[in-house]
């Protein structure tokens, strides 16, 4: 059995391979870091050759010229201050012009963004082959309902890029399945009779919904197209929440939302905001550090009514603190979601600098994004041609379904549906494994 299933996520990834009899359709998830069955979708290119972190991986392919760490080790190497370049949210570049562009990763070495994805998939495949003791040449890969909203041509290009990366690491047969459909397959294992389930798969990059007819008698059917009543999605999810939180609480002390000086009695103009949006978007942060961009920002001191704002911004640019600040915003979001309020430390910018964040502030910051997601769920059910009351279960999966502010609103939109919470990080991978088993075991 030389097949597997990969959930390549914006924030976390997992891989399933054939396993012992008695496991779900003979499939099992591979431990990727210690006992962890999921691994953050992160790569850290190490450029400090004299002092590399433990577990650094050196490959033999053209895109392996620099040693790298992956997942939690990649994030740790970055936090620990090793020299290099951290890449996260690589899935977000699929379907954009960035996918074929080259970015510098250190020591003057440039790597295409798609090659970074390829290297990460190669790491997943090598771990899975080591765990299973055999080569893997067929794969089912998950994909969001839309890589790119309202642009079929770019969406098709995104899937083609991901397929090309999978072929480049050695997979000869590459199939795709929608991630929320895979989650429905996972949920189906626990139902006793036929149901209509609305799957809410909300991860780091997309919020995807599917209305699927599930039931014990349907599980063994390979072609389930007639059971998929509708699927729909919107390109708003966890990384967008982090951006909103960062703009609301982390960026104002750097000048976001501030005004310039009054010139000749005229009304002060707002400080240009583009740099703040780029500093809160993972795959754009490094564009701020380019020499020409840095020079432009340095020359904008007179645009600021409060010189301290500009000084703080330039420290972030000089010391490349953008990713660390997004990490602080993400941590703050999680703390507020579980505890009600927090105080985000910005000591890395200035001693004593901090920014409070409470539930009301976060609700306000996320209001528009959450509204778009809930409306997308309603639209999906309408597309299925059924009334909201006809939905038996609302199945939550994906890392961002840990945000109660979001799940509460979705539950309120479908009050008759039973709320069921799957494994937030592994349900899609498990469902993809089920589909791979049915597709490839012959």
Same domain, 21 and 114: yes
How many domains are contained in the chain?
3
Q: Is residue 408 included in any domain, yes or no?
A: yes
Is 70 exceeded by the pLDDT of residue 57? no
Task: Using the 3D structure, point to which of 364, 383, 409 is the last residue of a domain.
Answer: 364
Most confidently predicted of 76-80, 84-88, 111-115: 111-115
Q: Indicate if 398 and 353 belong to the same structural domain.
A: no
Kindly state whether residues 307 and 356 are assigned to the same domain.
yes
Please check whether residue 383 lies inside any domain of the structure.
yes
Tell me the pLDDT tens digit for each residue of 202-257: 998 899 999 999 998 887 777 787 888 998 999 999 999 999 999 999 999 999 99
| 407 shares a domain with 294 | no
| Residue 188 in domain | no
The tokens for 197 are 């389930």
Answer yes or no: is 184 within a domain: no
Q: Which CATH number goes with the domain that contains 370? A: 3.30.420.40
Clarify whether residues 25 and 157 are in a common domain. yes
pLDDT of residue 406: 95
Residues 124 and 71 in one domain: yes
Residue 56 is predicted with a pLDDT of 56
Which of 322, 341, 364 is where one domain is finished? Answer: 364
- Residue 105 tokens read as 């990763």
pLDDT of residue 22: 41
- What percent of the chain has a predicted confidence (pLDDT) above 90? 66
Domain housing 339:
239-364
Compute φ and ψ for 301, nearest 5 degrees: -55, -40
Q: Let me know whether 264 and 373 are in one domain.
A: no
pLDDT band for position 396 (cuts 50, 70, 90): very high
Question: pLDDT at position 76, please?
Answer: 86
**Beta-sheet strand order (sheet of 195-202):** 228-234, 207-214, 195-202, 393-397, 418-421
Name the band, by pLDDT with cuts 50, 70 and 90, for residue 418: very high
Does residue 187 form part of some domain?
no
> Do residues 11 and 49 share a domain?
yes
Residues 228 and 256 reside in one and the same domain: no
Picking from 364, 384, 409, the residue at the C-terminal end of a domain is 364
Angstrom distance (rounded) from CA 72 to CA 41: 9
Residue 183 domain flag: no
396 domain residue, yes or no: yes
Could you report the per-residue pLDDT of 163-180, keeping only the tens digit for each? Answer: 999 999 999 999 999 998
219 and 243 housed in the same domain: no
Does residue 17 sit in the same domain as residue 148? yes
Closest of 347, 352, 365 to residue 403, by C-alpha: 365
Mean pLDDT computed over every residue of the chain: 89
Q: Kindly report the pTM of this predicted structure.
A: 0.81
On whether residue 185 sits in a domain, the answer given is: no
Q: Residues 64, 86: one domain?
A: yes
Q: Residue 112: enclosing H or E segment and its boundaries?
A: strand 109-112
């Amino acid at each position: 059995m030389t097949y597997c299933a990969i959930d390549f996520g914006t924030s976390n990834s997992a891989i399933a391979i054939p396993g012992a009899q008695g496991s779900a359709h003979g499939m099992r998830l591979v431990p990727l870091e210690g006992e962890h069955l999921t691994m953050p979708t992160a790569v850290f290119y190490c450029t400090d050759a004299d002092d590399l972190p433990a577990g650094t991986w050196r490959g033999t392919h053209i895109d392996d010229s620099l040693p790298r760490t992956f997942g939690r080790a990649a994030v740790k190497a970055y936090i620990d201050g090793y020299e290099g370049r951290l890449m996260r949210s690589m899935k977000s570049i699929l379907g954009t012009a960035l996918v074929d562009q080259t970015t510098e990763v250190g020591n003057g070495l440039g790597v295409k963004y798609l090659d970074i994805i390829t290297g990460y998939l190669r790491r997943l495949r090598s771990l899975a082959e080591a765990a299973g003791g055999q080569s893997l040449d067929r794969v089912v890969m998950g994909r969001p309902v839309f890589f790119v909203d309202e642009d079929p041509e770019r969406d098709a290009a995104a899937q083609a890029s991901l397929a090309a990366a999978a072929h480049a690491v050695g997979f000869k047969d590459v199939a795709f399945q929608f991630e929320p459909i895979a989650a429905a397959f996972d949920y189906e294992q626990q139902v006793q009779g036929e149901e209509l389930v609305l799957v809410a798969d909300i991860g780091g990059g997309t919020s995807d919904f599917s209305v699927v007819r599930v039931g014990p008698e349907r599980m063994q059917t390979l072609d389930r197209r007639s059971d998929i009543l509708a699927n729909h999605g919107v390109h708003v999810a966890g990384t967008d929440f982090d951006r909103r939180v960062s703009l609301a609480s982390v960026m104002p002390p750097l000048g976001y939302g501030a005004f310039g000086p009054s010139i000749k009695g005229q009304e002060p103009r707002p400080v240009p905001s583009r740099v703040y949006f780029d500093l809160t978007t993972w795959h754009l942060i490094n564009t701020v550090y380019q020499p020409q961009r840095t020079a432009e920002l340095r020359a904008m001191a007179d645009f600021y009514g409060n010189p301290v704002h500009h000084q703080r911004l330039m420290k972030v640019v000089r010391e490349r603190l953008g990713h660390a600040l997004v990490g602080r915003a993400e941590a703050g979001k999680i703390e507020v979601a579980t505890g009600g309020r927090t105080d985000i430390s910005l000591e890395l910018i200035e001693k004593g600098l901090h920014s409070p964040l409470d539930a009301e502030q976060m609700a306000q910051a996320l209001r528009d994004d959450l509204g778009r997601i809930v409306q997308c769920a309603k639209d999906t059910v309408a597309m299925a041609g059924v009334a909201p009351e006809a939905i038996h279960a609302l199945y939550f999966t994906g890392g961002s379904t840990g945000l109660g502010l979001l799940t509460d609103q979705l539950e309120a939109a479908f009050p008759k549906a039973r709320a069921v919470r799957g494994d937030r990080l592994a349900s899609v991978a498990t469902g993809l494994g089920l589909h791979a088993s049915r597709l490839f075991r012959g």
